[in-house]
């Protein structure tokens, strides 16, 4: 968390927003998401090249804002699909399966070979989201 802004350095949300995310309505989430680009600009230093273009890449070693904005295209939960188990959008593949594969020592490529309906982008975005959430909720030592 950024001490000056009170925002997560990875997803640019407040602790309250992160904690309430699963309970928020789609409208509330959309409202938060709409404000993230402005929050990102506020948190990042203005580093510009001679042509005025931003020199800051979209990915900073933490989850990119676009990834969070597209979370509904990555993972969803529908009571009609596997009883509401979170799955990759457009598939019946539970997200937990990805974590199970990695925990067992399998590679991302092995997972993707076994579940071709899941795109590499979806899998990586799910991992980035998990990392961001872990970092945001890590207890202080």
Kindly report, residue by residue over 50-92, the tens digit of the pLDDT: 455 443 334 333 444 444 445 667 888 888 888 889 999 889 9
pTM > 0.85: yes or no: no
* Contact (CB, 8 A) for 10 and 135: yes
- From the number of C-beta atoms within 10 Å of its C-beta (0-12, 13-18, 19+), residue 69 rates as middle
Digit-coded pLDDT (tens) for 116-136: 999 888 898 888 888 877 877
* Annotated domain spans of the chain: 1-56, 70-141
Token output for 100: 């199970």
3-state secondary structure string, the chain?
A: CCCCCCECCCCCCEHHHHHHHHHCCHHHHHHHHHHHHHHHHHHCCCCECCCCCECCCCCCCCCCHHHHHCHHHHEECCCCCHHHCCEECCCCCEHHHHHHHHHCCCCHHHHHHHCCCCCHHHHHHHHHHHHHHHHHHCCCC
- Burial of residue 132 (number of CB atoms within 10 Å: 0-12, 13-18, 19+): buried
Report pLDDT digits (tens) over 77-88. 888 888 889 999
**What's the CATH class of domain 70-141?**
mainly alpha
């Amino acid at each position: 968390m950024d001490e000056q802004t009170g925002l997560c350095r990875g997803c640019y949300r407040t602790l309250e927003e992160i904690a309430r995310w699963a309970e928020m309505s789609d409208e509330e989430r959309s409202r938060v998401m709409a404000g993230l680009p402005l929050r990102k600009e506020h948190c990042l230093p203005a580093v510009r090249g001679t042509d005025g273009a931003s020199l800051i890449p979209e990915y900073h070693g933490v989850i990119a804002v676009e990834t969070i904005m597209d979370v509904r295209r990555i993972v969803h939960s529908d009571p009609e699909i596997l009883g509401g188990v979170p799955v990759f959008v457009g598939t019946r593949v539970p997200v937990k399966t990805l974590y199970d594969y990695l925990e067992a020592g399998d590679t991302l490529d092995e997972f993707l070979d076994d579940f071709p309906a899941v795109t590499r982008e979806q899998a990586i975005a799910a991992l980035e989201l998990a990392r961001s959430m872990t970092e945001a909720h890590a207890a202080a030592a």
